[in-house]
């Protein structure tokens, strides 16, 4: 903002009616100054107001003033009752003033007033001191247009809320001078609304000058301040943080391709011209919104014993069944295709419930058990508008045999994601066709249909090393889980952690008492224990807990990878931790166990080649790029 001194009115004229009538006990006046008389390229904040006094030295009983200002469309007062309601004005000063004989008396405003440079400026003065100055006292004035001043004086104190009938109207109003910090008004009614897990819609009302609007966003909690005189384009960075996503004349913007379960911070400015610099920016309005967790159109893990699950169908009651998987490493239900005899049918369909696809940007994900090194079994995956293969689009084929496409080095469970083709909106089904010429079984699990997440890389990520100082440690309570000990680590270790820092304990809601008792009995420092409530499948938080980074703004973030076990509750812990701590969680399309990577915090890391086996559709270069984008790991 640039400060200017504005003077309105010239000449040697005077008035004893404006801004007060010192000869009267009480007075109340209103004066209108037009936009053209003020003559500035921008509006701004008026910080002081000056009236020019006559040569009289005594203004006794006339120094208690309440001053009001307002932006008004009124050009004149049409009658002696045509006051501007004080409710539509802002009180900018209330106190005693000091008169200057033959000079400018300056009143520093308690509340700076924003003049929008669109309307006219109205100044009202309510003089409240009992008695009068003992005679007429004058202020410098000039001739304005007809009836731009209205005044009333009385023996009783006048209430500005109901000033009554004016004593008169006039075209002789005060010469004034005021200091103003030129600025443009912010947009109003600024909102940010999360539409789904990848989109936030922004809306605003432009300021009274109809200035253009610029929007920037940040993931770091705040947005900086643009430099006046600098033109910013989309994708430019703002000093102090933030990236421009919109600059134009509209009143809304849809921010898309976002991270699920992430808070986005926005700042919205008006953009104008102050006549001296090329561009100036308003103070800006800050808003934020958080995208929800991924919304699944289909989400099935075959845990329930009923098969097929509700809404699912199959073309054979014997070829597609539910089984419990106990090896090699997965435990739980899965859907299995298996020919019962060598002479039976060699294909059968397993079909999802119907779902409605709003856009083409959706995909199906599932896990498949590829544990055989021989055989010709195949899983063929389709999407269709009806629950059969007539007119269906084949999305892909996965061979059970790990040496066939898509090839993987070792047998095991692998996750696959297949995108729907263009034109897939409307009612759809995903169809799994099992094919076999033998009686060897193959299983699938964790079937989901969700929106394809188009995400931006985290800005300047730094992967936190295990040796760095920490506020505490996280453990999970498995005492209520069949086959699990209480915490999976020695009690003495938990006690030591609680005495040195925070012990964060993830526990299911039904285990609160048992967990608290276990920690108390082992001697943990309960004042340093903080609980996080979440459903769990196991206590292996080392493997399913978040990867932790700091971004370029030195803000802590979580990286939410896909846990390499069919444990929905464990896989959802990172999102719950994100809500608990208030840290954003960025989904990384990467299957892993969190314990399978170590970093030196300087851009280097190591991992076993299990990563390659768990992400068979990603070549090594793609995995390397994900580590650069999300973890800042380049070596």
Backbone angles phi, psi at 510, to 5 degrees: -80, 0
Q: Give the tokens for residue 314.
A: 């199959």
The answer to whether position 131 is within a domain reads yes
Tokens 């967990």 appear where?
A: 515
Residues 365 and 502 in one domain: no
Q: For the chain, what is the domain count?
A: 4
pLDDT tens readout for residues 322-360: 998 876 555 578 999 998 776 666 899 999 999 999 888
Residue 381 is part of a domain; what is its CATH number?
Answer: 2.60.120.200
- Write out the DSSP string of 47-101: EEEEEEB-S----TT--EEEEEEEEE---S--STT-PPPGGGSEEEEEEE----T
The two three-digit tokens of residue 247, written as one number: 């600059």
**Quick check: is 557 in a domain?**
yes
Structure tokens at 131: 């008695």
Cα 116 off chain centre by: 30
Cis status, amide bond into 341, omega within 30 of 0: no
- Report d(CA 282, CA 268) in Å as an integer: 9
Residues 129 and 178 in one domain: yes
The pair of structure tokens assigned to 546 is: 């978040």
Predicted local confidence at residue 396, as pLDDT = 94
Residues 277 and 318 occupy one common structural domain? no
The answer to whether residues 266 and 202 touch, using CB atoms and an 8 Å cutoff, is yes
Q: Give the pLDDT confidence score for residue 259 in this predicted structure.
A: 78
Residues 286 and 313 in one domain: no
The single residue listed with the structure tokens 């040796």 is 467
- Helix 512-522 and helix 491-500, axial crossing angle in degrees, nearest 10: 90
3 state DSSP class of 229: coil
535 C-beta neighbours (distance < 10 Å), count = 15
Cα pseudo-dihedral 383, 384, 389, 392, rounded to 10: -80
Q: Are residues 178 and 212 in the same domain?
A: no
Annotate 160-196 with three-state secondary structure. Answer: CCCCCCCCEEECEEECEEEEEEECCCCCEEEEEEEEE
Question: Which of 182, 197, 230 is a domain's end point?
Answer: 182
Whether the CB-CB separation of 375 and 405 falls below 8 Å is answered with no
Residue 474 and residue 577 share a domain: yes
Same structural domain for residues 232 and 118?
no
DSSP SS3 for 513: helix
The span from the CA of 467 to the CA of 1, in Å, is 47
Q: Is 522 contained in some domain?
A: yes
pTM beyond 0.75: the answer is no
Closest residue by Cα to residue 315 from 448, 447, 450, 429 = 429
Instruction: For residue 152, tell me if it sits in a domain.
Output: yes
Residues 95 and 227 in one domain: no
Strands of 521-629, DSSP E: 529-533, 547-550, 556-563, 585-592, 598-599, 605-606
Residues of the chain with pLDDT under 70: 1-2, 55-58, 134-135, 220, 274-278, 327-331, 342-345, 373, 409, 453-458, 482-484, 566, 616-619
Domain assignment present for residue 296? The answer is no
Residue 68: which CATH number? 2.60.120
Domain of residue 345 covers 302-451
Q: Quick check: is 430 in a domain?
A: yes
Domain match, 364 and 508 both: no
CB 99 within 8 A of CB 53: yes
Q: Read off the CATH number of the domain in which 243 is found.
A: 2.60.40.10
Neighbour tally for 529: CB within 10 Å: 19
Q: Look at residue 408 in the predicted model and tell me its pLDDT.
A: 73
Residue that is last in its domain, among 412, 427, 451:
451
Distance (Å) of CA 77 to CA 30, 31, 148, 313:
9, 9, 6, 78
CA distances from 90 to 47, 87, 591, 616 (A): 13, 8, 60, 67
Q: Which two tokens stand for residue 551?
A: 């971004």
Q: Would you tell me how many other CB atoms lie within 10 Å of the CB of residue 365? A: 18
* Residue 270 and residue 393 in one domain: no
Half-sphere exposure of 166 (CA within 13 A, CB side): 21
**Inside any domain, residue 213:** yes
pLDDT at residue 514, rounded to an integer: 92
Instruction: Tell me what pLDDT residue 229 has.
Output: 83
What pLDDT shows up at residue 335?
Answer: 96
In angstroms, the CA 22 to CA 473 distance is 75
Q: Are 445 and 466 found together in one domain? A: no
DSSP element (H, E) containing 338: none
What secondary structure does DSSP assign to 342-355, as a single string?
TTS-SEEEEEPPPE
CA-closest candidate to residue 66, choices 81, 36, 86, 39: 86
- The span from the CA of 259 to the CA of 455, in Å, is 6
The pLDDT, as a whole number, for residue 560 is: 83
Widest distance between CA atoms in the chain: 121
Which strand (E) or helix (H) includes residue 373? none
The radius of gyration of the chain's CA atoms, rounded to the nearest angstrom, is 36
- 456: in domain: no
pLDDT per position as a tens digit, 285-300: 999 998 887 778 999 9
Domain match, 265 and 307 both = no
- Chosen domain end from 252, 269, 290: 290
Residue 8, helix vs strand vs coil: strand
CATH number at residue 487: 3.75.10.10
pLDDT single digits (tens) 209-259: 899 999 999 876 779 999 988 999 998 989 988 899 999 999 999 998 887
Task: Tell me, rounded to whole angstroms, the distance of Cα 424 from its chain centroid.
Answer: 30
């Amino acid at each position: 903002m640039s400060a200017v001194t504005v003077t309105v009115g010239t000449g040697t004229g005077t008035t004893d009616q404006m801004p007060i009538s010192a000869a009267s006990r009480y007075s109340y006046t209103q004066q209108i100054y037009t936009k053209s008389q003020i003559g500035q390229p921008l509006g701004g904040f008026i910080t002081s107001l000056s009236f020019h006094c006559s040569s009289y030295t005594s203004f006794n009983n006339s120094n208690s003033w309440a001053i009001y200002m307002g932006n008004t469309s009124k050009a004149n007062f049409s009658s002696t009752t045509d006051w501007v309601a004080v409710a539509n004005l802002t009180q900018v000063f209330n106190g005693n003033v000091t008169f200057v004989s033959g000079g400018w008396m300056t009143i520093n405003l308690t509340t700076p007033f924003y003049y929008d440079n669109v309307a006219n400026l109205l100044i009202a003065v309510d003089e409240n001191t009992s008695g009068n100055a003992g005679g007429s006292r004058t202020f410098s004035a000039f001739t304005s247009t007809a009836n731009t001043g209205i005044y009333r004086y009385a023996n009783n104190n006048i209430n500005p809320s109901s000033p009554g009938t004016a004593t008169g109207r006039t075209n002789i109003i005060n010469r004034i001078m005021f200091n103003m910090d030129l600025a443009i008004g912010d947009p109003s009614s600024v909102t940010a609304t999360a539409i789904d897990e990848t989109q936030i819609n922004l809306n605003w009302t432009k300021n009274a000058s109809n200035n253009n609007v610029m929007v920037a966003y940040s993931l770091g909690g705040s947005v900086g301040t643009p430099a006046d005189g600098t033109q910013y384009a989309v994708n430019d960075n703002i000093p102090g943080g933030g990236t421009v996503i919109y600059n134009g004349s509209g009143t809304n913007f849809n921010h898309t391709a976002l991270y699920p379960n992430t808070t986005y911070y926005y700042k919205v400015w008006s953009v104008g011209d102050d006549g001296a610099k090329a561009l100036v920016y308003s103070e800006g309005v800050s808003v934020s919104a958080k995208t929800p967790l991924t919304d699944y159109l289909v989400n099935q893990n075959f845990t329930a014993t009923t098969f097929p699950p509700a809404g699912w169908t199959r073309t054979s009651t014997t070829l597609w069944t539910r089984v419990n998987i106990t090896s090699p490493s997965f435990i739980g239900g899965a859907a299995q295709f298996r020919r019962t005899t060598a002479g039976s049918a060699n294909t059968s369909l397993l079909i999802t419930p119907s779902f409605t696809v709003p856009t083409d940007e959706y995909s199906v994900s599932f896990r498949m058990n590829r544990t055989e090194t021989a055989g010709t079994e195949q899983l063929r995956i389709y999407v269709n508008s009806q629950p059969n293969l007539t007119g269906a689009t084949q999305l892909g084929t996965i061979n059970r045999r790990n040496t066939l496409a898509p090839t993987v080095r070792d047998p095991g469970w692998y996750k696959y994601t297949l995108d729907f083709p263009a034109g897939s909106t409307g009612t759809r089904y995903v169809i799994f066709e099992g094919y076999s010429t033998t009686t060897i079984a193959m299983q699938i699990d964790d079937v989901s249909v969700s929106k394809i997440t188009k995400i931006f890389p985290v800005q300047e990520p730094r992967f936190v090393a295990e040796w760095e100082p920490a506020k505490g440690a996280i453990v999970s309570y498995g005492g209520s889980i069949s086959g699990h000990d209480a915490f999976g680590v020695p009690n003495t270790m938990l006690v030591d952690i609680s005495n040195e820092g925070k012990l964060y304990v993830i526990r299911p809601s039904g285990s609160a008492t048992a967990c608290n008792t276990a920690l108390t009995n082992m001697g943990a420092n309960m004042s340093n224990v903080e609980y996080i409530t979440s459903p769990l499948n196991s206590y292996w938080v080392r493997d399913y807990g978040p990867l932790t980074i700091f971004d370029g703004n030195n803000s802590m973030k979580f990286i939410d990878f896909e846990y390499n076990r069919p444990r929905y509750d464990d896989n959802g812990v990172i999102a719950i931790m994100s809500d608990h701590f208030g840290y954003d969680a960025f989904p990384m399309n990467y299957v892993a166990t969190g314990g399978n990577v170590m970093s030196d915090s300087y851009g280097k890391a190591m991992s076993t080649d299990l990563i390659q086996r768990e992400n068979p559709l990603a070549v090594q270069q793609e995995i390397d790029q994900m580590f650069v984008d999300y973890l800042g790991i380049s070596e």
